[in-house]
């Protein structure tokens, strides 16, 4: 159902009808298109999503204790998108481009928790050598092309990565060059010119790129339906003759299934996909945000659709794992996250003499 902005809808942030529209839009998505689930995949998905959730919870704790500084944007609630997309791709083969909400993308890409946490503490052992902080995680080894503070800033970078993959194959004759790039960004970015320019170029040259819209309904304090003429972002793909798909971003199997279809098209030379994941962040825009603009009714609606609880229900319903096994995984994750904090706190600060290092290419 397409929601059009009217004078009535502008007067309130959320209404019972708005919640009903969200429910109708989610229920209209086809569950038959979900990815298949077995024990091994289920445990892998649960572990990755739990790592993302517990890591972000620990970041909030460290921030409020005065151990972490700067702007910190957490990912709680959106874990199914990161795990669903990156988990379906080939690590250290495909490429990933993030936003300022990048901690969990980095973890899903395989960047060790120690390196991510160290970066948040500004330490030399961080994945960006302490230079990037929360919003600028980068790891060449894990094919993470960076987190970007400005909206839309990472999409052209991801486009260049996809162009490189296609150029190596078509122009340089490297037949094994079939890497795909995933560009993550939010709903607010979809009113930005770079979004449209890159969609046009990607479709024109049939580039192997997946445009992943993490539509969490809010661009800082602006409700999505109040900021765009057509809130159904995936439909914008039609303007470029591109494949567009809308998916329940609170269901990791739905996201994984859509990603698998997009990857198959991209590796076959059929071009890009615009994937809109309907999701929600459980915390404010950043840890400095009091989160007073979003209606409690809206928060409760999405809290009932917690992606971790949804996956656990799927696993238990299919008798793939026991509750005790999942609780054991959570305990292991907590130990891993606590270890990352201890490691980061004990790590060395960057050497002031190396202030200008990593700015220019080194021989």
Residue 6 lies in a domain: no
Whole-number pLDDT of residue 125? 97
Residues 302-338 have pLDDT tens digits of: 999 999 999 999 999 999 999 999 999 999 999 999 9
Contacts for 214 with CB less than 8 Å, ≥ 6 apart: 78, 81, 101, 184, 185, 186, 187, 249, 277, 279
Q: How confident is the model at residue 32 (pLDDT cuts 50, 70, 90)?
A: low
Which domain covers residue 168, as residue numbers? 37-347
Average pLDDT, the chain: 92
At residue 201, the 3 state secondary structure works out as helix
What count of Cα atoms within 13 Å lies in the side-chain half-sphere of residue 123?
A: 20
Q: List the CATH number of the domain containing 273.
A: 3.40.50.970
pTM of the model: 0.92
Q: How confident is the model at residue 40 (pLDDT cuts 50, 70, 90)?
A: very high
Whole-number pLDDT of residue 4? 37
Residue 359 lies in a domain: no
What count of Cα atoms within 13 Å lies in the side-chain half-sphere of residue 141?
A: 7
Residue whose entry in the numeric block shows the structure tokens 């809010």: 218
Residue 164 lies in a domain: yes
Residue 90 lies in a domain: yes
Ranking 10-14, 283-287, 348-352 by mean pLDDT, the lowest is: 10-14
CA distance 21 to 27: 10
Whole-number pLDDT of residue 168? 97
Residue 143 lies in a domain: yes
170-191 average pLDDT score = 96
Residue whose entry in the numeric block shows the structure tokens 């303007």: 239
Strand order across the beta sheet in which 95-97 lies? 95-97, 181-186, 209-215, 273-278, 243-248
- What Rg do the C-alpha atoms of the chain give, in angstroms? 20
136-155 average pLDDT score = 96
> Which tokens in the block code for residue 291?
């989160």
Residues 258-268 have pLDDT tens digits of: 999 999 999 99
Whole-number pLDDT of residue 14? 43
Residue 4 lies in a domain: no
Q: Residue 9 pLDDT > 60, yes or no?
A: no
Residue 2 lies in a domain: no
Number of structural domains (the chain) is 1
Whole-number pLDDT of residue 6? 35
Residue 145 lies in a domain: yes
């Amino acid at each position: 159902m397409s929601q059009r902005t009217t004078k009535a809808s502008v007067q309130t942030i959320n209404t019972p009808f708005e919640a009903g529209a969200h429910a109708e839009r989610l229920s209209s998505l086809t569950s038959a298109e979900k990815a298949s689930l077995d024990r091994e995949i289920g445990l892998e998905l649960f572990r990755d999503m739990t790592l993302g959730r517990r890591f972000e919870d620990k970041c909030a704790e460290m921030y409020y204790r005065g151990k972490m500084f700067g702007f910190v944007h957490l990912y709680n609630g959106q874990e199914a998108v990161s795990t669903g997309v990156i988990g379906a791709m080939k690590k250290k083969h495909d490429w990933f481009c993030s936003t300022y909400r990048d901690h969990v993308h980095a973890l899903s890409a395989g960047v060790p928790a120690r390196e991510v946490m160290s970066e948040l503490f500004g330490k030399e052992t961080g994945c960006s050598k302490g230079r990037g902080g929360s919003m600028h995680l980068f790891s060449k080894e894990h094919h993470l092309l960076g987190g970007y503070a400005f909206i839309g800033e990472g999409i052209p970078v991801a486009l260049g990565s996809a162009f490189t993959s296609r150029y190596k194959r078509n122009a340089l004759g490297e037949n094994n060059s079939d890497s795909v790039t995933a560009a993550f960004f939010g709903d607010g970015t979809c009113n930005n010119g770079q979004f449209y320019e890159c969609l046009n170029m990607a479709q024109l040259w049939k580039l192997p790129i997946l445009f992943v819209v993490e539509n969490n309904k809010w661009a800082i304090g602006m409700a999505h339906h109040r900021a765009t003429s057509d809130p159904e972002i995936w439909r914008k793909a039609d303007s470029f003759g591109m494949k567009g798909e809308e998916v329940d971003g609170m269901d990791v199997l739905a996201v994984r299934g859509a990603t698998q279809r997009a990857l198959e098209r991209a590796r076959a030379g059929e071009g890009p996909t615009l994937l809109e994941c309907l999701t929600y962040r459980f915390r404010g825009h950043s840890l400095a945000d009091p989160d007073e603009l979003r209606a409690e009714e809206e928060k409760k609606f999405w809290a009932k659709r917690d992606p971790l609880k949804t996956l656990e229900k799927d696993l238990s319903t299919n008798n793939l794992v026991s509750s005790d096994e999942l609780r054991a995984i959570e305990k292991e994750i907590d130990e891993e996250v606590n270890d990352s904090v201890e490691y980061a706190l004990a790590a060395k600060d960057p050497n002031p003499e190396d202030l200008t290092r990593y700015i220019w290419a080194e021989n």
